[in-house]
Amino acid sequence: SAICTDEKNIWQRAITVGAGAGIGAVMLPEKLGLDDEPVAKNTQVKTLTVGYYLFGALATAAIFKAISK
């Protein structure tokens, strides 16, 4: 995982990677000719999509920190 390369700045990397992936999931489907309705139906769905990716990245960082002790 790009988040877990080492423990230095793991939280900043998790936030950056999670937010970037979430924003990409919302913005890229239309540009790629895919159906964007499941992730970009309205502002609430867009916010939740980014939030899910961000939560997943933070969970990954937390698990990595827990098992690397």
Q: 45-49 — which CB contacts under 8 Å span 24+ positions?
A: 49/22, 49/25
Average pLDDT of the chain?
A: 89
What is the per-residue pLDDT across 10-52, written as a single tens digit (0 to 9) for each? Answer: 899 999 999 999 999 999 998 999 998 888 889 999 999 999 9
Distance CA 41, CA 39 (A): 6
Assign 1 a pLDDT band (cuts: 50, 70, 90).
low
The fraction of the chain above a pLDDT of 70, given in percent, is 91
Residue 25 is predicted with a pLDDT of 93
